[in-house]
Structure 1
Amino acid sequence: MTTASSDADTQEVHAIARTLIEALPYLRRYQGAVMVIKYGGHAMGDQTAARDFARDVVLLKQVGINPVVVHGGGPQIKAMLDRLKIPSSFVDGLRVTDEATVEVVEMVLAGKINKEIVTAIQAAGGKAVGISGKDSRLIEARKLTRTRRDPESSIEQVVDLGYVGEPERINTGLLEVFRNTDIIPVIAPVGVGEDGQTYNINADTAAGAIGGALRARKLLMLTDVRGVLDAEKRFLPTITADDARRMIAEGVISGGMIPKIETCLDAVDRGVEAAVILDGRVPHAILLELFTEHGFGTQILAASNR
């Protein structure tokens, strides 16, 4: 009985050793690299998953990688709006944001959620600072407009989304200050207009813009799906930007995955080495992606990087 237990312990120790050895070349490769991580989805609402995420981010910083966290908060915003009896409506997945709603968005994103993530990272042994896109004008935004074709007249109509914005300029100076420190920046996707107006920005879009501005080594998009599937529903570990555009045109990539892929394509076009779609619900998905031979999610590369 003791021998069997001892053998099992030995096998576990050897497995840990093999994992560390496999990670070594990737630790060297990513030394000093910037990794922008979009954190959201169901993983953010689960206590255990949130703790694992915080530990993973702290580990990245400890081994010399520079993580930059950009977080969402759609379910938490909805819960607060419901509590305050403020109605919500959506256009193409974007929350129409009036004056009352944008105040709640900023309160929930830059206040409650942001500080919860900071607290989790610090509980895991790291140092973090929570900021929003308004701090030091990190995310300068412009009003986002959408058009919709009237089904009866076929006339394109402009849809007013209220205070929904899109990044116009990313001022990276504040983030560069953190790069050579032990501090992990945690960013709420709230932007500021030229006139000081607050804008609600989609977290995926904000993460992609920040990744491009920092020329991050990777943009990691934590989602609720494993990655990209081909027409036969087979998982694809790597595709090029051209592959992704073709798959969108052919309808292989569809629905809510399209804007996520378009964010990845924009980031790659701006100089990010690779953008990755991966399942944030799986424990330690970030570590599996960065430090194992085959990765974990779907990596989107510029054609020249394949």
Structure 2
Amino acid sequence: MKDVTNAMRAHILTAAVPYIKQYTDQYVVVKYGGNAMIDEELKKSVMKDLMLLQLVGVKVVLVHGGGPAINSTLDAMKIESRFANGLRVTDEATMDVVQMVLAGKVNKGLVADLTDLGGKAVGLCGVDGNMIQVHKQNDELGYVGSIDTIDTSIIDDVISRGYIPVISSIGMGADGKTYNINADTVAAKIAGALKAETMVAMTNIDGVLRDVHDPSSLISKITMAEADQLKAEGIIAGGMIPKVDCCLEAIKSGAQKVFIINGEIPHAILIELLTDEGLGTMFVK
């Protein structure tokens, strides 16, 4: 039995070699969110995955949001949370909280998690090095930004020194103000700007299902043209549309491929990137 177990371990490790070669010295941008940010065991699993990828030579970039943490802080401060078309209406008081929570508590917490496991990480937001330049999306949403440019030089600098950049979704306007940005959009634009080999979008769903009630109907690979067709057929619908649009935006901007995976599966990143099976939906040009 022991020999069988050892043979299985050896098979898993050798099967990963071609994938490791594919990703070595390439950028992999991970958009981190959902329950995997809340559940401590899942969080540890994600951090270990990122560290392993870095150890085998992958240029790992972690992008995160933090909606639940923002909501609970706003509630504690008796500031009302308001949303319009799924985006947080962000007045000046709310933006102060968003910046405090995202660039502070959540960001530094993730850096601490990586450091605690023996990794090296640096916390950043879009204001650092003027990395993410934005303009106001509209007056109704307040301090919510649309991305104009991404300057990746600080990301490269951090990676070249052996650190994983951990980036929160805040940008800088030409008016000197900070702006809240959708984290999926930030990850997509950064992946595009870096010409990343892969972007991984962690969600609480398995990927794109042909039938939302049938987990076995997972579509494992979708081209950009097929994505448009699936939208027209109503298979990609509702809250899945903005997630898929961000995946397509990453590819349009320069990323090679994008995965949507279920972050509630332990070590989902490694399973998707370094095994034959995979477990989510891959988007390609």
Q: Does 1:163 align with 2:146?
A: no
Deviates more, 1:231-240 or 1:259-268: 231-240
Aligned equivalents of 2:200, 2:228: Cα separation in 1: 19
Aligned equivalents of 1:103, 1:273: Cα separation in 2: 36
Q: TM-score, normalised to structure 2's length?
A: 0.96
Aligned equivalents of 2:57, 2:98: Cα separation in 1: 33
> Contact 2:122–2:158 at 8 Å: present in 1 too?
no
Q: 1:215-268 CA deviation, whole Å, 9 max, x = no partner? A: 100010000000011257410111101111111122111111110100111111
Q: Which residue number corresponds to residue 272 of structure 2?
A: 289
Aligned equivalents of 1:142, 1:79: Cα separation in 2: 27
Letter in 1 for 2:202: L
Q: Which residue number corresponds to residue 239 of structure 2?
A: 256
Identity %: 45
Aligned equivalents of 1:181, 1:289: Cα separation in 2: 27
Q: Which residue number corresponds to residue 247 of structure 1?
A: 230
> Contact 2:159–2:165 at 8 Å: present in 1 too?
no
Q: Which residue number corresponds to residue 4 of structure 2?
A: 11
Aligned equivalents of 1:95, 1:236: Cα separation in 2: 31
Q: Which residue number corresponds to residue 108 of structure 1?
A: 101
Aligned equivalents of 1:93, 1:15: Cα separation in 2: 45
Aligned equivalents of 1:198, 1:179: Cα separation in 2: 25
Measured after TM superposition, the shift of residue 293 of structure 1 is 1.1
Q: Flag the structure with larger Rg.
A: 1
Aligned equivalents of 1:121, 1:12: Cα separation in 2: 30
Measured after TM superposition, the shift of residue 167 of structure 1 is 1.1
Q: Which residue number corresponds to residue 301 of structure 1?
A: 284
Letter in 1 for 2:242: P
TM-align CA RMSD: 1.1
Q: TM-score, normalised to structure 1's length?
A: 0.90
Aligned equivalents of 1:77, 1:15: Cα separation in 2: 44
For structure 1, the residue ranges without an aligned partner over 5 or more in a row are 1-6, 146-158
For structure 2, the residue ranges without an aligned partner over 5 or more in a row are none
Measured after TM superposition, the shift of residue 123 of structure 1 is 1.4
> Contact 2:29–2:199 at 8 Å: present in 1 too?
yes
Q: Which residue number corresponds to residue 148 of structure 1?
A: none
Q: Does 1:139 align with 2:121?
A: no
Aligned equivalents of 1:179, 1:301: Cα separation in 2: 26
Equivalent runs, 1:9-48 vs 2, <5 Å: 9-48=2-41
Deviates more, 1:293-302 or 1:198-207: 293-302
Q: Which residue number corresponds to residue 207 of structure 2?
A: 227
Residue of 255, 265, 276 corresponding to 1:272: 255
Letter in 2 for 1:279: N
Q: 1:160-203 CA deviation, whole Å, 9 max, x = no partner? A: 10101121100111111123331100001000000111100010
Kindly indicate which of the two structures has a greater share of residues assigned to strand: 1
Measured after TM superposition, the shift of residue 92 of structure 1 is 1.2
Q: Which residue number corresponds to residue 60 of structure 1?
A: 53
Q: Which residue number corresponds to residue 122 of structure 2?
A: 129
